[in-house]
Every structure is written in structure tokens, then in C-alpha cells.
Structure 1
Amino acid sequence: MQSEPETLPDTEYRGLIGLLPAAARPFALLARLDRPIGWWLLFWPCTWGVALAGGAVQNWELIFWLLLGSIAMRGAGCVYNDIVDRDLDKQVERTRSRPLTSGAVSLKAAWAWLGVLCLIGLVVWLQLGMTAKLMALASLALVAAYPFMKRITWWPQAWLGMVFSWGALVGWLAVAPEFSSAMLLLYAGSIFWVIGYDTIYALQDREDDALVGIRSSALRLGDNVRFGVLVFYGLALASWAGAFWIMRPQALGLAALIPIGLHLAWQVGTLKSGDGEDALNKFRSNRFAGFLMFLACLVLGQAG
């Protein structure tokens, strides 16, 4: 009889996942459905693109499709990541209990589950216009390469930033199928934001990562993590301010960024780099940061 999987501090296993049949739970855990923070962080940049392009109200149903796509494709990315990293995961305390590593899910079943999640993503992809479809397809190479980045660069967080921010481009082009400098600055700002919050997340694994040779920005920055996160968050805000100025060249438009700016400043100002629980809490607070940025894009997009 299969024992209950070990749960982690950032899991919500005892919630809805706990109501699933026992045989289904390992698959839910493999796709990180017990940890919704991941798909929220993938989803919010999608909404920013839709909102800043001025389509959040008129295309509200698109936002729901993008939410479904974010849940499915984040799950697919996690399954693929665990397939690639199954040997490394055995060497890290936080990841050795993952379903594929522990044997709760076989490699063959993991590939099948990956296919199911990709089919859901395909349904969402079919709802997009042609330009947005092509942009979404272009992300697949980045997604496929991501699990290998921690082996070859100290900055896998930068690659993750490109992947997790891609929805800003897709969301924008789904509403306004033309490239613009504001869209690119929105995307660049999201990349810096992801680097910042994923550096905070990586603080939890610094000791294990150093032992097994996994590279991360948290290790690269050493004792300068707080300053590094401050720089990345500052670059994010500067990029977003540039995008907002292009859309509406008025100081009042930039004021929409004040709430998220204050929130990011709170993260940096109160971050305890040696406290894994604090790092996790700060990381998870970016779900709220994403919502604040959505509100800023919504206000500016509708005003324009």
C-alpha cells in the first residue's frame, strides 16, 4: 500500500487535493496542483498584457482561458522538469519526496500525464488569434531548455523569467496583434520581477544546491542577495514605468505603479536571507504583487 507523500511547507495538500481519490493524488502533486502559487505567477503576466493593451473588459473571457492555460501549462512544465531532474531531485531534501522521484508515479505514467496537460493547453491555444498563437508556440523552446539551465549557468532564474513572462506577450497580442515597445518593456519588467522573486525562493535550497552542484542566483549573489533582489525589482519597476509612459505620457499614469512598488519595497526591506520560512512567505506574496500590477495595467489600459 502506497504511503501518504511527504508534504512540504508551501503545499496545500490537505485542501482540495486531499479530497481526490488516493490514486489521483500523486499526479496532482506531480503537476504541483497543491501549490497554486506557480500558476498564479504564470497567469498574472498574461493578464497584464491583456489589460495594458486595453482589452481586459471587452475580452474578459480571454482572461479565463488564459487562467486555464496557465494552470495546465504550469503543470506540464513541472512534470517535464521532474522527468528531467529526477536524479538530481533525489539529492535535495526538499525535492526527494516528489512523486516521480519517490516512485509514486512511474516514468511512463508521468509522460502520459504530461500529454494530457498539453492537450488542455492545446484547447486554450486554439482560442487565440494567429499572431498570439505563433507567439505562444515560440515559447516551447524556452520551456524545453529551462530544466537544464541550473546545470550550466548561475542565473537559471533569468531563463525562468523569460518563460514565466512570455504570457505578457501572448496576452497583449491576443488583444492587439501588433508588436509595440510598450509590450516589450512590460515583458522585460516581468523578467526582472521573476528573477527577483525566484532568487528569494532559491534561498530555501542554498545549502543543498551547493552540495549537489545546482547553480542559482541566490548562491551567486552570496551575502548580497537583498541588494540583488532590490536591483532586479528596481529594474522591473523602471521597465514598467517606461511601458506606462509610452501608453500614457503623464505622471498620473505612473502613480498606478505606487502600490506594487511599495509591496516590492516591503519584500526587500523585511527579507531575512537566512530564514527559509520567511523566504517562502515573501516569495508567495508575489501572488498579491501580480494582482496589484494587474490593477495598474487595467487602470492605464482603460484610461487610454
Structure 2
Amino acid sequence: MTAEIVPDSEHRGIVGALPPVLRDLALLARFDRPIGWWLLFWPGAWGVALAGGAVARWDLILWLLIGSIAMRGAGCVYNDIVDRDLDRQVARTAVRPLASGAVSLKAAWAWLGLLCLVGLVVLFQLHVPAALTALASVTLVAAYPFMKRITWWPQAWLGLVFSWAALVGWAEITGGWGLPGLLLYGGGIAWVIGYDTIYALQDVEDDALVGVRSSARRMGAAVRPGVAGFYAVALLLWGAALWRMRPDPLVLVALVPMAIHLGWQVVTLVPADGANALARFRANRNAGALMFAACLVVGSAL
């Protein structure tokens, strides 16, 4: 049996051309949906840029990208190992390679180990403070798949995980943690809660049937103002991070494109339309680039 290429795959032609075994492994690691590793990568790039290291340490940004691809893939494989029984009960996830039986549990563990080895290579490129910071996220990553069983806010836990690279990038350039880096990280958490709530709108009905909790279900009819609130908190914390680096009202202008983009997401969001929600979620790849530009402008002006 070969895993089905799901409707939200972004590179159906490339994935479809792979031999069956490689296709199943690619789908298991979500290589067909690069939005995930973009969202994991951007906070790390922000940290490097805001600390003023984007130009001199372009190689670090490249390593962070490679690490994001590998570790997002590893996280997806681990998540599917833990959730394989739940996935079989949800229409959108029942065709995943493990849930459908296209990939065996033993093969999934082996694939997870290989992806982690790539992440280890990236870890060796970091100095001790950044490497220790990166390793500190392991517990958060390991616990994430269980959060949807015990809390209505698994998106908050995902925020802790997916924004962690901001601390890694900042620590690699500055040699430690600092208030601007922590504010950048905090804003990233709020941003993740917002966009992952949008993503969870696709599964509200199925999640209710199988008992999976999410911020989208918790917010209910108030999901649009709820997302707007988290995006507002993100902008507030990011503005504070930029201000700590350069206390000048002009630095806040760098956030205007990001604010407009996030506002567009909220205004045009149609909660009952899964395709609309998926498009708004994917738009955060561009949002990440806009935030990187803001950090680059401020960090380069120091």
C-alpha cells in the first residue's frame, strides 16, 4: 500500500514522481508541505537578524534552514507515531502513511532517527550557549503530541516549540539570552497560537467527534476576535523587542507591513471554510518574511 497524496500537498507533481517507498517517507515527514518548516525556520532567522548577525552569519541562517527542514520532518514523524490511532479516526489524517499502513512503525522509527542525525549535524555548527538552548527544546517537542489530549490549548504548547529557534539564533550571535530575544520569542508564541488556531479550523468537526481539543474549538464563534487578539499581543511584544534594540519611534514603522498582513488574515478569514483557513494559515510564510525584514532593518542599524 502507498500513502495517498493529500489535497493540501503543495508539490504533488514532485512527490508523485518519487518511487513509492521514498514517496511514503516524504509524506510521513511532510516534505510535500514546506509551510511547516518555513514556520519553524523564520523565528531563528529573526533572532539572528535582530541581533545584527544576518549579513556576517548568512551561513548560520542557512544551517538553521536545513535544521528546520530536518527537525520539522522528525517532529511530524514522531507526532504520527504517537497519534497513529487517533489519525485513523479523522478524515483528513486517516491517509497519513502510518495511519494507513503504508509505512510500518519500525520503518518510521528508523526514519525518525535519520532525520535526527541531520539535526545533530546542524547542532554541531553552533557554539555552546546556542547548542544548549537548542537541546533544551527536546522536552517541549516530545510532550507536544500529548497536549491535545490534556488541554484545550495545544496551540500554546506548539508556540513554545515553533518559536524556540528565536532563542537559538539570538544566543548564537550574542552568546546568551537577552530581553530583546525573549520578547521576540514571546511574540512568536502568540503568533503561532494565532495561525495554528486558523489551521485547526479545518478539523473542528472531526476533532469534536473523537475528543481532540484545540483552541479553535475552545474559541468557537469568537475565533476571529480570538486570533486577532493573539496577533495583537505578538505585535506588541515584537514592538517591545525592536524598541529595546533601538528606542526610536521609527523602528516601529518596520512592523507596519507585518501588522497589515496579519490584519488582512483576520479580516478575510472565513472560519467555516476549510480552504479559506488553509490559505490564511499558509500566508504566514510571507508574514515570517515580513518580520524578518523588520528585524534585519533594525538589527543592521545598530
Q: Tell whether the structures are fold-level matches, with TM greater than 0.5.
A: yes
| 2:53 is equivalent to residue 55 of structure 1 | yes
Match of 1:175 in 2: 173
The aligned runs of 1:1-304 (5 Å cut-off) are 2-3=1-2, 5-304=3-302
Which residue identity lines up with residue 31 of structure 1 in the other structure? A
Contact 2:5/2:12 (8 A) holds in 1: no
Tell me the amino acid that sits aligned with residue 70 of structure 1.
Answer: S
Shift of 1:13: 4.4
**SS of structure 1 residue aligned to 2:129:** helix
The code of the aligned residue for 2:126 comes to L
Q: In structure 2, how many angstroms separate the alpha carbons of the residues matched to 1:289 and 1:9?
A: 23
Contact 2:6/2:95 (<8 A) preserved: no
The normalised TM-score by structure 2 is 0.99
Q: CA offset at residue 286 of structure 1?
A: 0.2
Count of residue pairs the alignment pairs up: 302
The alignment partner of 1:56 has SS state of: coil
Partner SS for 2:247: coil
- Residue 22 of structure 1, CA deviation: 1.9
Distance (whole Å) between structure 2 residues aligned to residue 268 and residue 12 of structure 1:
23
Q: Give % identity.
A: 68
Q: Tell me if the contact between 1:76 and 1:118 (Cα under 8 Å) persists in the aligned partners.
A: yes
Given that residues 72 and 117 in structure 1 are in contact (C-alpha distance below 8 angstroms), is that contact kept between their aligned partners in structure 2? yes
Secondary structure of 2:9's counterpart equals coil
The residue identity in structure 1 corresponding to 2:40 is L
- What is the letter of the counterpart of residue 243 of structure 1? A
Structure 1 gaps of 5+ residues are: none
Residue type of the partner of 1:223? A
Residues 130, 176 of structure 2: 8 Å contact kept: no
Is contact 2:66–2:122 with CA below 8 Å preserved after alignment?
yes
3-state SS of paired residue (1:128)? coil
Distance 1:16 1:131 in 2: 39
| In structure 1, distance between residues paired with 2:26 and 2:134 | 25
Give the letter aligned to residue 38 of structure 1: G
TM-score, scaled relative to structure 1: 0.98
CA RMSD of aligned residues (A): 0.8
Supply the distance in 1 between the matched residues of 2:30 and 2:178 (Cα, whole angstroms).
34
Greater CA drift, 10-19 or 291-300: 10-19
Q: Which ranges of structure 2 fall in alignment gaps of 5 or more residues?
A: none
State which drifts further: 251-260 or 20-29.
20-29
- Asked if 1 retains the 8 angstrom alpha-carbon contact of 2:130 and 2:172, the reply is yes
**8 Å Cα contact 1:203-1:218 kept in structure 2:** yes
Structure 1 residue 179 displacement after superposition = 1.8
CA distance in 2: counterparts of 1:7 and 1:33, whole angstroms: 11
- Counterpart CA distance in 2 for 1:197 and 1:184 is 20
